[in-house]
């Protein structure tokens, strides 16, 4: 594959130049928030840090962390760093608990965000000759607007489909010749399933997909690529920092390049806050150094991953982050064991099951229980009852080997688990621990 770059001078800049950009922009950003955001100034004063203490990126560790709880506490305008009259857009997280987190954008912020998403599209092979089919949600959710803006910057024909109405999605793919699909991986899997059921795969011209907003495994990637006949690329982002496009995969697909001219990434020990060396697994922390309206310094994402600065064959020099391996805050703790849904998904896909499952955690007589409901394929569903029981036992053994604890397995009929056109609801925790 020929490598495409949206901003080659930036994406392939030397490490020295990237560090220079980061240091200059960090110093400016810290002074800006200290002078214009009382919430930040108070946090820095409590840690006895002033802008004069931050002279380069090497001083980043001196700054306090900020968390989603802080964002909720400061809702709605407490972290705004520009006058409201200078802001042109508000986006919001898709969370359903507590206060929502809102993020503000100036026109300059939107332009830079579009640039980041344009880099992602071109890294996936996109050009101005492509038809980019965006079925992330629009509205307050950042997925649709981000990829929409990036597609415009590339010069591609953009289909702003938004989520839902699968029949219409497939019709437009066939009629208009969509070549790049942008949506959640769970919806991509559902689209592939639906397209193949209708016998329409030969009418689909998709060549690539850009999928994010939820966790997915390499096994799920392979299933999607086979189902849709595409190359599937990962994209990472979060509303608090900007939205999709914070990091993206290139053709090498060995991690996602972080746009380091806009974001400084750190990996910390989630328990102590200590910065960890490159290559060690820990919690991802971001500092936005070009955002005007809603800049965040040392924002704890709660995503667990690894950073790597190994040379990439694509020519890009920006640090790569691994696919998130879980969350430090919403991982399941069952019988004292840390359990990530991605571990369970890996087992299921390796055993030939589709990525349609639900994890149900409960507490009975003060003891945690975990049940994994797994959809069978139509072929499995036609097996004898005895063979189904054997399959359940096989999965119980494989899950115990992966997790270290017993998990009950319940095989269910095809299509009996509710499909999602947004983020799939993988976990039902009935313990009400928080």
Query: What pLDDT does 165 receive?
Result: 94
pTM above 0.85, yes or no: no
Containing 257, the helix (H) or strand (E) segment is strand 256-258
Tens of pLDDT, residue by residue over 6-57, are: 999 999 999 999 999 999 999 999 999 999 999 999 999 999 999 999 999 9
Q: 190: domain CATH number?
A: 3.40.50.12780
Examine the domain organization and report whether 312 and 361 are in the same domain.
Answer: no
Residues 299 and 369 in one domain: no
Q: What is the pLDDT of residues 139-192, one digit of tens each?
A: 999 999 999 999 999 999 999 999 989 999 999 999 999 999 999 988 999 999
Helix/strand/coil (H/E/C) assignment for every residue in 100-128? CCEEEECHHHHHHHHHHHHHHHHHCCCCC
pLDDT at 247: 99
> Considering only 126-130, 225-229, 328-332, which range has the smallest mean pLDDT?
328-332
Same domain, yes or no: 344 and 293: no
Q: Whole-angstrom distance between the N-terminal and C-terminal Cα of the chain?
A: 48
Which position has the higher pLDDT, 267 or 186? 267
Confidence of residue 99 (pLDDT cuts 50, 70, 90): low
Q: Is residue 83 part of a domain?
A: yes
Write down the pLDDT at residue 432: 66
Do strands 256-258 and 332-334 pair parallel, antiparallel, or not at all (unpaired)?
unpaired
pLDDT at 397: 97
Percent of the chain residues past pLDDT 70, beyond the cut: 97
User: What pLDDT was estimated at residue 227?
Assistant: 96
Predicted confidence (pLDDT) per residue in 281-296, tens digit = 999 999 999 999 999 9
Task: Give the count of domains, the chain.
Answer: 2
Among 251, 247, 260, 226, residue whose Cα is nearest residue 324: 247
pLDDT of 433: 57
Q: Which of 270, 299, 328 is the last residue of a domain?
A: 328
Q: Which of 89-98, 120-129, 207-216, 391-400 is the least confident region? A: 89-98
- Lowest mean pLDDT: which of 242-251, 304-313, 325-334? 325-334
Examine the fold and report which residue of 328, 358, 374 is the final residue of a domain before the chain moves on: 328
Query: What integer pLDDT is reported at residue 1 of this predicted model?
Result: 67
User: What gap in Å lies between CA 318 and CA 250, rounded to an integer?
Assistant: 11
**Rounded mean pLDDT of the chain?**
94
205 lies in a domain?
Answer: yes
Tell me if 147 sits within 8 A of 210, measured CB to CB: yes
- Residues 283, 346 within the same domain: no
Within a domain: residue 401?
yes
Query: Which range has the worst mean pLDDT, 71-85, 96-110, 283-297, 339-353?
Result: 96-110
Indicate if 290 and 337 belong to the same structural domain.
no
What pLDDT does 418 receive? 86
Helices (H), 38-184: 38-46, 68-73, 107-123, 143-154, 166-176
Residue found by looking up tokens 């110093």 in the block = 27
Task: Say yes or no: 295 and 373 in one domain.
Answer: no
Same domain, 318 and 374: no
Same domain, 301 and 361: no
pLDDT at position 332 = 80
How do beta strands 208-211 and 231-238 pair? parallel
Per-residue pLDDT band at 95 (split at 50, 70, 90): very low
Cis bond before residue 76 (omega within 30° of 0): yes
Helix (H, G, I), strand (E, B) or coil at 408: strand
- What is the torsional sign of CA 234, 93, 169, 149? negative
Residue 434 lies in a domain: no
**Domain extent for 404:** 332-429
**Cβ atoms 23, 264 nearer than 8 A:** no
pLDDT at 421: 72
Query: At 371, which CATH number?
Result: 3.30.300.30
pLDDT for position 434: 42
Of 268, 343, 245, 258, which is closest to residue 308 (Cα–Cα)? 258
| Last residue within a domain, chosen from 264, 299, 328 | 328
Is residue 380 located within the same domain as residue 266? no
Q: At what angle do helices 341-350 and 218-228 cross, to 10 degrees?
A: 50
């Amino acid at each position: 594959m020929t490598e495409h770059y949206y901003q080659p001078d930036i994406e392939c800049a030397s490490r020295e130049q990237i560090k220079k950009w980061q240091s200059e922009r960090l110093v400016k950003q810290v002074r800006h928030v200290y002078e214009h955001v009382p919430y930040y100034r108070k946090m820095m004063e409590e840690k006895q840090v002033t802008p004069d203490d931050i002279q380069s990126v090497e001083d980043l560790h001196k700054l306090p962390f900020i968390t989603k709880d802080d964002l909720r506490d400061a809702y709605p305008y407490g972290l705004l760093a520009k006058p409201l009259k200078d802001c042109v857009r508000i986006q919001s997280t898709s969370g359903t608990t507590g206060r929502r987190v809102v993020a503000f954008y100036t026109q300059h912020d939107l332009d830079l965000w579009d640039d980041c998403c344009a880099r992602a599209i071109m890294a996936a092979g996109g050009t101005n000759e492509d038809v980019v089919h965006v079925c992330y949600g629009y509205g307050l959710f950042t997925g649709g607007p981000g990829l929409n803006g990036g597609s415009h910057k590339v010069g591609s024909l953009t289909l702003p489909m938004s989520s839902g109405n699968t029949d219409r999605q497939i019709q437009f793919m066939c009629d208009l010749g969509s070549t790049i699909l942008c949506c959640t991986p769970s919806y991509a899997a559902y689209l592939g399933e639906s397209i193949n059921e209708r016998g329409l795969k030969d009418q689909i011209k998709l060549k690539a997909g850009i999928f994010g907003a939820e966790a997915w495994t390499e096994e799920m990637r392979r299933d999607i690529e086979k189902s849709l006949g595409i190359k599937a690329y990962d994209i990472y982002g979060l509303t608090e920092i900007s939205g999709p496009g914070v990091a993206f995969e290139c053709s090498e697909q060995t991690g996602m390049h972080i746009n380091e001219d806009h974001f400084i990434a750190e990996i910390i020990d989630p328990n102590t806050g200590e910065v960890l060396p490159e290559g060690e697994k820990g919690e991802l922390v971001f500092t936005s150094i070009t955002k005007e309206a809603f800049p965040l310094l040392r924002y704890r994402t709660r995503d667990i991953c690894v950073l790597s600065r190994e040379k990439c064959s694509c020519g890009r020099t920006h640090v790569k982050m691994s696919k998130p391996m879980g969350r430090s805050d919403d991982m399941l703790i069952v019988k004292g064991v840390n359990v990530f849904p991605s571990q369970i998904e890996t087992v299921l896909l390796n055993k030939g099951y589709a990525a349609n499952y639900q994890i149900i955690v409960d507490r009975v007589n003060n003891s945690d229980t975990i049940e994994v409901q797994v959809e069978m394929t139509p072929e499995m569903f036609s097996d004898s009852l005895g063979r189904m029981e054997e399959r359940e036992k096989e999965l119980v053994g494989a899950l115990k080997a992966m997790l270290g604890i017993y998990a009950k397995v319940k095989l269910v009929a095809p299509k009996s688990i509710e499909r999602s056109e947004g983020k799939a609801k993988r976990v039902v925790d009935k313990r009400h621990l928080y």
